[in-house]
Structure 1
Amino acid sequence: MSVVVSSISKVFESQKAVNDISFSLKKGEIVGFLGPNGAGKSTTMKMLTGFYKPTEGSILVNGIDMLTSQIEAQKSIGYLPEHNPLYTEMYVREYLQYQASIFKVEKSEITTVIEKVGLTSESHKKIYQLSKGYQQRVGLAAAILHNPSVLILDEPTTGLDPNQLVEIRALIKELGKDKTVLLSTHIMQEVEAVCDRVIILNKGEIVIDKPIAELKTSTEQFIKVTFDYKLEEQFIKRLPNITSYKNTSENNWTLVFNSKEDMRPKIFDFAQENGLKILGLNAENKNLENLFRELTS
């Protein structure tokens, strides 16, 4: 495994931002790291990069302990933080030369990286002259300049237009072929398009860690139904194959079933048996956005 996180927690004064989480990441895997604001995503990423030290637990990067050998572990990591810190008055090549000097990277690598991230046509410009999309490319170029085996990307597509979004997604997928990528984002479609696996964090704890393919083949069904009468919870529990439910307003319910069978006819039968009328019914396919709402609401 490229990264092994074991029972890490982070406490800021009296607030526990991350609570005893464990996971591992392997080479050639792009993992989506999701959660609502304040869930602990950025704090976890900062611990993985060595910016924060965990209050408890351990982090291994390519077998190197981040706590005892921080500099050595950081050599294997490329990090693009949420707010991309660039010296915008510098030229693109000038900035990357500066980064190369920090990592003791041969200057010949700069041209290679510029080509890889698609910056060749813009490399003669000052960074402030670039669009948001190209500035993100500069940040990615700096993150991969020393050829790290692990990439940690915190909201890399924030503020991009649809064309820039597609380009950066393609670049991340290409980079993920021979690196380990941990990608934080609020855009569910991005995770479904790019990632192999998803980890969802809520209130500092992991609530799910599954391959995307497994989620797509799930037998769970989300059905929103409106009855003409307010039902008690005990009646809803009688529905077959129901796994969870939520009374969203007086007569409205969101129901979750686990079955290969379409459960809508069962809901109609249930209504008829109990003398109810259905005023509205809408079935939703199980997707990441549904799952995210279910686990973090």
Structure 2
Amino acid sequence: MPLQIHNLTKQFGEQTALNNINISIENNEIIGLLGPNGAGKSTLMKSIVGALKIDEGEIIFNGQNITDHEIASKKKIGFLPENNPLYLEMYIKEYLMFVANIHKIPESRVDEVIELVGITPEKSKKIGQLSKGYKQRVGLAQAIIHQPDLLILDEPTNGLDPNQIIEIRNVVKEIGRQKTVLLSTHIMQEVEALCSRVILIHKGNILQDCPIGEFKGKFESLEEAFASYTA
């Protein structure tokens, strides 16, 4: 079991962002992490990747506590944050080579991932010259370049046009055949297209953790189910 979260609690001052969270995630799952703004989704994702210090509880990834094995864990996790921080003055291939060198992986993987996320026509441009959609693709490329066991995506299709959304969904779906993907999104069509399981978090608590069909249940749509659970 690649990811186990036990009694995870995170506070910012007097605000409890995560309240005693428990999650187990299997191999080769694409999981939709849902919740209103401010629910604790980003805090949870940043805790898993080691960007936030854990207050209470533990996160076990590939059998190791991520706090005790921080570097080893990060080598096997890919992360695309919502704000997608990039070096805008760098050229696309230059930036991805920089990331590849950090991970000590060959240059051939850079060309492979450029092709995979569909940025070949733009690869000679500076990142700052790209549209928001292409910047998202560069962010996705850096997240998957080292072929992580766990891929965490925070709003990965943010700013993409409908054709680009379909292309990125196909990339994520392909990755999910061999890896574990945790996907945060507000777009319910994305959840239906990609995810087999839904984790719904609200006010720092998990309200639902179940197969997508069970989450939808008696409701006509995922939007209706989401609105009802978080009302």
TM-score (norm 2): 0.96
Partners of 2:73 and 2:106 in 1: CA distance: 20
- Structure 1 residue runs of 5 or longer lacking an equivalent are 222-284
1:284-295 pair list within 5 angstroms: 285=220, 287-295=221-229
SS at match of 1:148: coil
1:199-218 pair list within 5 angstroms: 199-215=199-215, 218=217
Q: Does 1:97 align with 2:97?
A: yes
Q: Is the 8 A contact 1:154 1:185 kept in 2?
A: yes
Tell me the CA shift for residue 13 of structure 1. 1.4
Aligned residue for 2:106?
A: 106
Partners of 2:134 and 2:173 in 1: CA distance: 17
Whichever structure has more strand as a proportion of its residues is 1
Whichever structure has more helix as a proportion of its residues is 2
SS at match of 2:4: strand
Partners of 1:175 and 1:118 in 2: CA distance: 15
Q: Is the 8 A contact 1:7 1:57 kept in 2?
A: yes
Q: Is the 8 A contact 1:155 1:186 kept in 2?
A: yes
Aligned residue for 1:73?
A: 73
SS at match of 1:33: strand
Tell me the CA shift for residue 295 of structure 1. 1.0
1:131-210 pair list within 5 angstroms: 131-210=131-210
Tell me the CA shift for residue 128 of structure 1. 2.0
Larger radius of gyration: 1
Partners of 1:13 and 1:126 in 2: CA distance: 40
- Structure 2 residue runs of 5 or longer lacking an equivalent are none
- Deviation string for 1:33-55 (max 9, x for gaps)? 01001110000000000011221
Tell me the CA shift for residue 158 of structure 1. 1.4
Q: Is the 8 A contact 1:58 1:65 kept in 2?
A: yes
Partners of 2:53 and 2:73 in 1: CA distance: 13
Q: Is the 8 A contact 1:46 1:52 kept in 2?
A: yes
Partners of 1:129 and 1:39 in 2: CA distance: 34
SS at match of 1:111: helix
Larger RCO (CA within 8 A; separation ≥ 6): 2
Partners of 1:157 and 1:179 in 2: CA distance: 19
Percentage of identical aligned residues: 55
Q: Is the 8 A contact 1:199 1:209 kept in 2?
A: yes
Aligned residue for 1:128?
A: 128
State the AA in 1 paired with 2:225.
L
